[in-house]
Amino acid sequence: MTIKAFIFDLDGVLTDTAEYHYRAWKRLADEEGLPFTREDNEHLRGVARRDSLRLILKDRVVPEGKFQAMMERKNGYYLEFIKEITPRDLLPGAKELLEELRAAGLKSALGSASKNAGEVLDRLGIRSLLDAVSDGYSVERQKPAPDLFLHAAQQLGLPASECVVVEDAAAGIEAAIAGGFRSVGLGPRERVGKAEAIFPSLAGVRGRDLLGALEANQEK
């Protein structure tokens, strides 16, 4: 098994901004009288801004101008939340794993659909631990298309088969599989069950745990 790099999703993997995305959408939905629950939000994990709003609106048709304004309003709420982010908001295990991978000579990249990923990375103080960053500006086709992860792999100069995608979203795992990447899912099986290996979170997870789980899966 040749694994040379890990490509991490951001929201819900390295930091809990998935919660902020939810709260920002929830505020917009409440203001607009749109039904939207935490359960609905599970399907929005990893889904780009425009696609997320489409899912929230369901059958409701909104003129493009109003659609844009709603996306901007949600983003304004989200920006308010992330203003408060500090390195303390890294999820348990995230920084330790990035440091360990670097020390072991493995590469790490970010593969996040968020246009705010750069700001979040800087606030978390982990940009220097990443060898490449692919974000919401990098590609046209968003997850579950594999393009974003392929963009990250290209920046690393590696084929997909030598990179492991670490994701908390069903759309992200689908994207990884579609691109020919190895995959690690974080969270409940109902959400990330298609991943090759599953962990509840990165807390206490070392590089050898990830590699061991992937190897065990390959032998199956």
Sites for ligand G6P among residues 126-165 (CB under 6 A): 136
With CB cut-offs between 5 and 8 Å by kind, which of Mg ion, ligand G6P, none does residue 112 bind? ligand G6P
Residue 11 DSSP one-character state: B
Q: x/- string (CB under 6 A) for ligand G6P, residues 70-109?
A: -----x----------------------------------
Work out how close the CB of 218 gets to ligand G6P at its nearest, in angstroms, rounded to a whole number. Answer: 28
When the beta carbons of 77 and 194 are compared against ligand G6P, the nearer one is 77
d(CA 61, CA 50): 13
d(CA 2, CA 162): 6
Work out how close the CB of 113 gets to ligand G6P at its nearest, in angstroms, rounded to a whole number. Answer: 3
Query: Which of 135, 147, 168, 196 forms a contact with Mg ion (CB under 5 A)?
Result: 168
Residue 45 interacting with ligand G6P (CB under 6 A): yes
Closest to 162 in 3D by CA, of 182, 133, 183, 190: 182
- Strand, helix or coil at 170? helix
Residue 52 interacting with ligand G6P (CB under 6 A): yes
When the beta carbons of 166 and 211 are compared against ligand G6P, the nearer one is 166
Work out how close the CB of 4 gets to ligand G6P at its nearest, in angstroms, rounded to a whole number. Answer: 24
Residue 147 interacting with Mg ion (CB under 5 A): no
The two structure tokens encoding residue 202: 């990165």
The two structure tokens encoding residue 82: 């992330």
Query: Which of 11, 147, 174, 196 forms a contact with Mg ion (CB under 5 A)?
Result: 11
d(CA 220, CA 211): 15
To the query of whether residue 9 is one of the catalytic residues in this protein, the response is: yes
Alpha helices in the chain (DSSP H): 17-32, 38-42, 49-57, 64-82, 94-103, 117-124, 147-156, 170-179, 189-192, 207-219
Query: Which of 6, 8, 12, 74 forms a contact with Mg ion (CB under 5 A)?
Result: 12
**Is the link from the previous residue into 144 a cis peptide, with omega within 30 of 0?**
yes
To the query of whether residue 11 is one of the catalytic residues in this protein, the response is: yes
Q: How far is CA 126 from CA 89, 99, 119, 186, 215, in A?
A: 11, 10, 11, 20, 28
Enzyme catalytic residues: 9, 11
Q: Which residues here bind ligand G6P, judged by CB under 6 A?
A: 11, 18, 21, 44-49, 52, 75, 112-116, 136
Q: Which residues here bind Mg ion, judged by CB under 5 A?
A: 9, 11-12, 46, 168-169
